[in-house]
Amino acid sequence: MKKVLKVLAYLIGLVLLLLASTAAFIHFRGIPKYEVAMTEEIRRLKVPQDTLLVAEGKRLSTMLCQQCHFSNETKKLTGSQMKDVPKAFGIIYSRNITQHPSKGIGEWTDGELYYFLRTGIHPKNGGNYIPPYMPKFPRMADEQMHAIIAWLRSDDPILAADPTELPEIKPTFLVKFLSTVAFKPMPLPTKTLLRPDTAQKVALGEYVANSMVSCYPCHSADLKTVNDLEPTKSVGFYGGGNPMMDINGEQIVRTANITMDPETGIGKWTETDFVNAVKYGQKPGGGSLAYPMMPHTALSDTEVKAIWAYLQTVPKIKNKVERAK
Ligand code: HEC
Ligand code: HEC
């Protein structure tokens, strides 16, 4: 009997040693790096400075980039601390994405920007992978991807070269660990991605909600169980309840159930209620929706109504969310 216990003790000791050395490895290696595998086509990408393209890029950036990269001090996109990133993820700053050659992204090529925004693999930092505190855009239509790049190159004053530099980010062990076992870069698209036209209402709504603006990561059950490759496989897809932080990172605000369940979702809403909530952050009974639900004034009525049409096709989930006061 004693011998068995001894062997068991050795085994447990061995397992603990292995765990400790794996943990030490993850801690010191940090967030994993990946091979920067840009195709020839991406390497050669040169987006034209077309006025319409720049305007579309600016419109998209107000929903997709500026909230994280805008600095209240410089009034430009020189980056700021992400106060609403959960403490368990560490101290995270967004970066300077003005046109400054060394402190900003002035020296990135169009291809490098495209590759980074699609995959989340940093082409300048030896292939550093960027965890989910910066979104990736693997399914956005090529035209809109190009629009964002055209805008980043434009003479928009908030992008004018600025040398402001922020401290290094300090991700916790949890981020390093999850980036090793769960979070992965997104694959490059294998074909040209098109935006559905306005005649295909449900398809357009699905595109806007799942590929362009990404409503689903917030409106699923938890950020840790979101499936960015196949959004519909995210746990609690559009059923809400995801615990998010308020703007100061102090209080939890749970996302709403926006499936058509009449009791716990928005099944009793009208299309107008929905447009007012999504575009202007207005609650049907009066009052405003809480951060991080932002007004999406840059979406057209057609796009918001298309999302409404698409949500009618999403499976209802019964999930009563304890809402913020
Ligand atoms: C939710 C917040 C968030 C949003 C939205 C966001 N970013 Fe970021 N971005 C970050 C953070 C945080 C980093 C730094 C990550 C790191 O260093 O690990 C970053 C890094 C970057 C970098 C790398 C810069 C460098 O020099 O290393 C670029 C380029 C960039 N973002 C562009 C964009 C663009 C363009 C958009 C919109 C299409 C966007 N970001 C949207 C948070 C965000
Ligand atoms: C950054 C996370 C985030 C994103 C992105 C987001 N939402 Fe929300 N949304 C929330 C939160 C949090 C609430 C709850 C706010 C509250 O309780 O006041 C909410 C509330 C709502 C509501 C109100 C529902 C109700 O019962 O009151 C609707 C409708 C809605 N969101 C639709 C959308 C749509 C459509 C999109 C994409 C265009 C979207 N949201 C993107 C976080 C988000």
Residue nearest to atom 39 of ligand 2 (CA): 215
Among 36, 56, 68, 169, say which to mutate for ligand 1: greatest number of ligand atoms within 8 Å of CB: 68
Q: What pLDDT score does 5 carry?
A: 85
Q: Which atom of ligand 1 is nearest to the CA of 67?
A: 5
Together in a domain, 121 and 151: yes
Together in a domain, 59 and 165: yes
What's the 149 CA to ligand 2 centre distance in angstroms? Answer: 27
Together in a domain, 143 and 218: no
pLDDT in tens, 192-235: 999 999 999 999 999 999 999 999 999 999 988 899 889 999 99
Question: Token pair of 11, please?
Answer: 């085994």
How far apart are alpha carbons 164 and 54 in whole angstroms? 24
pLDDT averaged over the chain?
94
What's the 284 CA to ligand 2 centre distance in angstroms? Answer: 13
Helices (H), the chain: 2-29, 40-43, 51-64, 66-69, 110-119, 142-152, 173-181, 201-207, 216-219, 271-280, 301-311
**99 secondary structure, DSSP code:** S
Q: Which is nearest to 66 in space by CA: 135, 158, 165?
A: 158
Residue 96 DSSP SS3: coil
319 inside domain: no
Q: What residue ranges of the chain have pLDDT lower than 50?
A: none
Q: What pLDDT score does 125 carry?
A: 85
Contact 120, 130 (CB under 8 A): yes
What's the 64 CA to ligand 1 centre distance in angstroms? Answer: 10
User: Half-sphere exposure of 204 toward its Cβ, with a 13 Å CA cutoff?
Assistant: 16
Together in a domain, 210 and 261: yes
Q: What pLDDT score does 119 carry?
A: 97
Together in a domain, 150 and 222: no
The DSSP string of 233-300 is GSTTTTT---EEE-TTS-SEEEPP--SS-TTTSSTT--HHHHHHHHHH-B-TTSSBPPTTS---TTS-
Number of domains the chain is built from: 2
What's the 16 CA to ligand 2 centre distance in angstroms? Answer: 43
Instruction: Domain of residue 151: give its range.
Output: 40-181
20 inside domain: no
For 80: left if phi > 0, alpha if psi spans -120 to 50, otherwise beta; the answer is beta
